[in-house]
Structure 1
């Protein structure tokens, strides 16, 4: 079973117990956060209907707030003696996925449609 969640303008494929690094969230280590679900798969059926997934959330535990690796930005104009080097480190949040939305939800909705 897995889900596609969105946070910080990006999408992540997650399963229970996964650890992911996302854009910084306003939460302290030990807090619990909820992520919006775009797709839910139980191994037999895939749900992508927005109406069905409207109230579903993936619960994750905040493990750490940290900075990512340094990204170098190098500007250069040949034959003009121009070069500039800058660096950037993105603030990130480490999350552990603790709960997927109603793990039998896909199976229940499949049985009601038949």
Structure 2
């Protein structure tokens, strides 16, 4: 399983990733310059979620200025089902 930044799609659906930088297969290792031409990765969406909350605190001394904020980053868990090269 791979956890990446949030991608569109529903749980159980499939997604195709076209930006592949390196492939290791029967023909050996192919390194892209910067991407491997014709290579795609197929994956299944396992989970869509959000990370733990982090707290952002801003303060200016002697001015009674305080702001507290939070942030939760979205993520997608993928299961790689196949890698294809041209």
- With normalisation by structure 2, the TM-score equals 0.79
Larger relative contact order, structure 1 or 2 (CA cutoff 8 Å, min sep 6): 2
Q: Would you tell me which structure has more helix in proportion to its own residues?
A: 1
Q: Does 1:47 align with 2:47?
A: no
**Partner Cα distance (1:80, 1:60) in 2:** 52
**Partner Cα distance (2:52, 2:16) in 1:** 26
Query: What is residue 42 of structure 2 aligned with on the other side?
Result: 59
- Secondary structure of the corresponding residue to residue 47 of structure 2: strand
Aligned length: 84
1:50 Cα deviation from its structure 2 partner: 4.3
**Partner Cα distance (1:83, 1:51) in 2:** 45
Following superposition, which runs of at least 4 residues in structure 1 exceed 4 angstroms of deviation? none
Q: Which moved more, 1:49-58 or 1:85-94?
A: 49-58
- With normalisation by structure 1, the TM-score equals 0.62
**Partner Cα distance (1:101, 1:69) in 2:** 34
Query: What is residue 2 of structure 2 aligned with on the other side?
Result: 20
- C-alpha distance 88-52 of structure 1, shift in aligned 2 (>3 A): closer
Deviations 1:69-114 (A, max 9, x none): 1121111112222111100112211111121235xx8xxxxxxxxx
Q: Would you tell me which structure has more strand in proportion to its own residues?
A: 2
Q: Which runs of 5+ in 2 are unaligned?
A: none
